[in-house]
């Protein structure tokens, strides 16, 4: 418990300034500039045409933005599902993606109606971050080959094994298309990272991914370089592929059902964990997890009907939205409108972008998913087992596949329960005493009781002092510890007085 208290940090409050509509419009343009290269790049990494990612971005902005339970979260194609989609398209063909997404969307809607949103948050952060790290490795080693205007190989291990040959095959004395494409890719990465490090404060909202893509594109156009470029249709409507008459028959295929369940599970977990992270960035409306789950289901159902990519709530675009000053869901909706307008009116601009530039953006994006800092955090605060779960999930995702990696991680998470099998229950008492909302916890706070713990903490009235008594709480696993830590941060940032009682019999006052 003392580690938990030591990890608490106050986020900087966001001060209101300017009319709400103006702030949302400005934020939406920033999110649009971040989203455009990522929508196309993730589509390419998924093995589908770039316009499929743009359609998902449009639906995620306009439709899901209007229905979302997390108003400031941005939805669209996510790097976390790129590997899954790539394998599905490779094994079952692009025509199977629509039926899979329609079924996955229905599953998410039903889960939201059944109020299962809170349970997805019970997945160990070690599993989720290990999954994302494994996906990041696969994206890096796959998109590395795109830097050479080549296609990724069928598996992560094959891509990894072939990477040295790509580098040693370069010939500085005989500059051909391969060397030119690689040069554009490296320049894109340097421009992106350099801008993020050196950009002036007045331009801090201009995304590095956009600068990188513009730099690579400008070079290719200025010198008329012969490299592979993005291929998008004249009309975005022509990219919509409605399901065929074989829809129902495909749903009879066990592999289709398994794929839909996997996408629904992974997309829901990533979305709701992203929503929890977005809640920590602002002091506005909190996420309604079941409403968010229903909105994501409707979005994926529509993406399936349009033959597009699956969507999730995405943390990079969401954090850009919050940092740009968004205050309502209008920002998310406007960003979808900007994508639609751009691809409808200016598709010829997109066709000038080199594929190597998009591959470069995805290499950086994938690398950032491999969060070694999170692994160190798990090890230092919660011991070797959560860190091992993170590593095992990562390795299994890379060496086998995503679903196996997640199942291995969840299975290992069960080991945390073994010492406490006889006392897994969490008992809660609540009441108001002298103007203080008192919460008493006893028993074990493990991931199986996280929904109950979350509901209890969220019921504490805003603006009222809260006392959390953990004297009789025998166990707190790292999943619940992270939840309590986030709750403390949010209440303190809102100016509430929060008191923790029971850490070795001492009271730690946590007032703002």
Instruction: Map out the domains of the chain with their CATH numbers.
Output: 22-152+159-166+174-363 (no CATH), 372-419 (no CATH), 424-511 (3.30.750.24)
Give the pLDDT confidence score for residue 7 in this predicted structure: 39
Average pLDDT value for residue range 220-225: 95
Give the pLDDT confidence score for residue 14 in this predicted structure: 43
Q: Sort strands 497-503 and 436-445 into parallel, antiparallel or unpaired.
A: unpaired
d(CA 90, CA 100): 14
Average pLDDT value for residue range 236-258: 89
If you average pLDDT over every residue of the chain, what do you get? Answer: 87
User: Tokens 């495909």 appear where?
Assistant: 250
pLDDT tens track for 38-80: 999 999 999 999 999 999 999 999 999 999 999 999 999 988 7
pLDDT tens track for 335-390: 999 999 999 999 999 999 999 999 999 899 889 889 899 899 899 988 899 999 99
Give the pLDDT confidence score for residue 6 in this predicted structure: 38
Q: Evaluate whether 34 touches 320 at the Cβ level (below 8 Å).
A: yes
Q: Evaluate whether 227 touches 354 at the Cβ level (below 8 Å).
A: yes
User: Tokens 């060397």 appear where?
Assistant: 179
Long-range contacts of 275-278 (CB under 8 A, 24+ apart): 275/69, 275/70, 275/73, 275/313, 276/121, 276/486, 277/315, 277/318, 277/319, 278/70, 278/72, 278/73, 278/313, 278/315, 278/318, 278/319, 278/322
Whether the pLDDT of residue 5 is over 50: the answer is no
Least confident interval from 195-199, 234-238, 280-284:
280-284
* Sign of the dihedral defined by the CA atoms of residues 28, 33, 34, 37, in that order: positive
Widest pairwise Cα distance in the chain: 81
pTM of the model: 0.81
Q: Evaluate whether 398 touches 134 at the Cβ level (below 8 Å).
A: yes
Give the pLDDT confidence score for residue 4 in this predicted structure: 38
Residue 31: pLDDT band by 50, 70, 90 thresholds? very high
Give the pLDDT confidence score for residue 208 in this predicted structure: 92
Helices 20-45 and 79-92, interaxial angle, to 10°?
Answer: 40
Looking at mean pLDDT, say which of 25-34, 106-115, 133-142, 489-498 comes out highest.
106-115
d(CA 58, CA 498): 41
* Nearest alpha carbon to residue 71 among 10, 118, 27, 137: 27
Give the pLDDT confidence score for residue 279 in this predicted structure: 82
Residue 473: pLDDT band by 50, 70, 90 thresholds? confident
Give the pLDDT confidence score for residue 125 in this predicted structure: 83
Q: Evaluate whether 323 touches 205 at the Cβ level (below 8 Å).
A: yes
Residue 17: pLDDT band by 50, 70, 90 thresholds? very low
Sheet of 497-503, strands arranged across: 426-433, 436-445, 466-476, 497-503, 506-511
Residue 421: pLDDT band by 50, 70, 90 thresholds? low
Mapped onto helix, strand or coil, the DSSP state of residue 502 is strand
d(CA 493, CA 512): 7
Mapped onto helix, strand or coil, the DSSP state of residue 270 is helix
Looking at mean pLDDT, say which of 101-105, 251-255, 471-475 comes out highest.
101-105
Give the pLDDT confidence score for residue 509 in this predicted structure: 32
Mapped onto helix, strand or coil, the DSSP state of residue 64 is helix
Give the pLDDT confidence score for residue 19 in this predicted structure: 67
Whether the pLDDT of residue 81 is over 60: the answer is yes
Average pLDDT value for residue range 285-297: 93
* Nearest alpha carbon to residue 263 among 45, 40, 477, 88: 88
């Amino acid at each position: 418990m003392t580690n938990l208290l030591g990890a608490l940090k106050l986020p900087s409050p966001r001060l209101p300034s300017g009319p709400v509509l103006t702030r949302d419009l400005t934020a939406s343009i920033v999110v649009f500039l971040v989203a455009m290269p990522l929508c196309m790049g993730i589509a390419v990494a998924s093995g589908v045409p770039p316009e499929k990612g743009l359609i998902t971005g449009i639906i995620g902005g306009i439709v899901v933005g209007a229905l979302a339970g997390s108003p400031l979260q941005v939805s669209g194609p996510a790097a976390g599902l790129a590997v899954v989609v790539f394998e599905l398209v490779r094994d079952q063909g692009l025509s199977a993606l629509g039926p899979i997404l329609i079924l996955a969307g229905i599953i998410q809607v039903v889960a939201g109606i059944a109020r299962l949103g809170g349970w997805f948050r019970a997945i160990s952060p070690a599993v989720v971050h290990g999954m994302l790290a494994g996906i990041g490795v696969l994206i890096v080693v796959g998109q590395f080959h795109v830097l050479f205007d080549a296609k990724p190989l069928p598996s992560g291990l094959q891509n990894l094994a072939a990477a040295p040959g790509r580098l040693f095959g370069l010939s500085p004395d005989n500059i051909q298309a391969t060397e030119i494409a690689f040069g554009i890719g490296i320049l894109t990465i340097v421009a992106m990272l350099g801008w993020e490090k050196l950009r002036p404060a007045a331009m801090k909202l201009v995304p590095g991914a956009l600068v990188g893509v513009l730099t690579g594109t400008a070079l290719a156009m200025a010198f008329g370089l012969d490299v592979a470029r993005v291929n998008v249709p004249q009309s975005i409507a022509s990219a919509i592929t409605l399901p065929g008459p074989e829809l129902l028959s495909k749903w009879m295929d066990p592999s289709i059902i398994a794929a839909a369940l996997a996408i629904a599970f992974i997309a829901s977990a990533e979305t709701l964990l992203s929503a929890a992270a977005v809640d920590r960035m602002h002091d506005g409306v909190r996420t309604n997890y079941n409403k968010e789950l229903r909105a994501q289901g409707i979005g994926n159902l529509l993406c399936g009907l349009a033959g597009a990519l699956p969507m999730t709530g995405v943390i990079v675009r969401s954090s850009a939205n919050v940092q740009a000053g968004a205050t309502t869901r209008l920002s998310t909706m406007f960003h979808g409108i900007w994508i639609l307008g751009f691809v409808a009116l200016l598709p010829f601009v997109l066709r000038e972008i080199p594929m190597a530039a998009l591959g470069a953006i995805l290499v950086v994006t994938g690398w950032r998913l491999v969060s070694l800092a999170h692994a160190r955090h798990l090890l230092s605060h919660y011991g070797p087992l959560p860190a091992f779960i993170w590593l095992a999930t990562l390795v299994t995702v890379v060496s086998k596949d995503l679903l196996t990696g997640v199942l291995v991680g969840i299975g290992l998470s069960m080991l945390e329960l073994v010492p406490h099998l006889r006392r897994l229950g969490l008992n809660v008492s609540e009441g108001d005493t002298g103007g203080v909302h008192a919460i008493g916890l006893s028993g074990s706070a493990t991931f199986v009781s996280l929904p109950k713990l979350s509901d209890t903490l969220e019921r504490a009235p805003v603006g009222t002092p809260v006392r959390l008594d953990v004297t009789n709480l025998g166990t707190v696993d790292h999943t619940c510890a992270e939840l309590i830590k986030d709750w403390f941060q949010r209440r303190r940032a809102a100016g509430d007085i929060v008191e923790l009682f029971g850490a070795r019999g001492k009271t730690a006052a946590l007032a703002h």
